[in-house]
Amino acid sequence: MAAGLCVATSAYAEAPRELRRIDLKPAPDGTTVVIELSRPSIPRFGVVRDEQGRLQRIHVDLPAGTALAPGVMRQAASDPPVSRVRVGLGEADKPRVVIEVDGARDYRIERDAEPGTIAVSVIGTRAAPAEASAPASAEPSRPARAAAPPRPRSAKRSPPRLKIVLDPGHGGEDPGAEGFAIEKEVTLDIAQRLATLLRSRLRAEIVLTRDEDATLALKERTALANAEGADLFVSIHANANPTGSLRGVETYYLDNSTDRGTLRLAEMENGLDLLKPKAGSSDLRYILSDLVQVGKLGESARLARSVQRGVVGQLRRSYTGVVDLGVKRGPFYVLVGAYMPCVLVETAFVSHPVEGRRLAREDYRQEIAAGLYTGIARYLDQGSRRRTL
In this structure, is residue 325 part of a structural domain? yes
In terms of residue numbers, what domain contains 115? 18-125
- For the stretch 305-340, pLDDT in tens is 999 999 999 999 999 999 999 998 876 666 666 778
Three-state secondary structure call for residue 132: helix
In this structure, is residue 11 part of a structural domain? no
- For the stretch 3-50, pLDDT in tens is 444 444 444 445 678 888 888 888 888 899 999 988 877 788 878 877
CB 347 within 8 A of CB 236: yes
Contacts of 152 (CB under 8 A, 6+ apart): none
Q: Are residues 252 and 340 in the same domain?
A: yes
In this structure, is residue 81 part of a structural domain? yes
In this structure, is residue 4 part of a structural domain? no
Nearest CA-CA partner of 362 in 141, 134, 193: 193
Percent of the chain with pLDDT over 90: 33
- For the stretch 106-138, pLDDT in tens is 888 876 667 788 888 999 875 433 333 333 333
The pLDDT of residue 93 is: 64
The pLDDT of residue 18 is: 87
Position with higher pLDDT, 295 vs 108: 108
- For the segment 205-233, the average pLDDT, to the nearest whole number, is 85
The pLDDT of residue 63 is: 83
Phi, psi (rounded to 5 degrees) for 136 = -65, -25
Q: Are residues 248 and 364 in the same domain?
A: yes
In this structure, is residue 352 part of a structural domain? yes
CB 85 within 8 A of CB 22: yes
CATH code at 99? 2.60.40.3500
The pLDDT of residue 142 is: 43
Per the structure, the count of domains in the chain is 2
CATH code at 189? 3.40.630.40
Residue 154 has pLDDT above 70, yes or no: no
Last residue of a domain, one of 109, 125, 141: 125
Q: Are residues 330 and 203 in the same domain?
A: yes
CB 179 within 8 A of CB 349: yes
Mean pLDDT of the chain: 77
pTM above 0.85, yes or no: no
In this structure, is residue 319 part of a structural domain? yes
Residue 230 has pLDDT above 70, yes or no: yes
- For the stretch 166-200, pLDDT in tens is 999 999 999 999 999 999 999 999 999 999 999 99
Residue 164 has pLDDT above 90, yes or no: yes
- For the stretch 65-74, pLDDT in tens is 888 888 777 7
The pLDDT of residue 337 is: 66
The pLDDT of residue 263 is: 43
For residue 193, give the amino acid letter.
R
Q: Are residues 185 and 327 in the same domain?
A: yes
In this structure, is residue 214 part of a structural domain? yes
Between CA 376 and CA 379 the distance in angstroms is 5
Between CA 389 and CA 382 the distance in angstroms is 11
Count of Cβ atoms closer than 10 Å to residue 161 Cβ: 10
The pLDDT of residue 227 is: 80
CB 20 within 8 A of CB 95: no
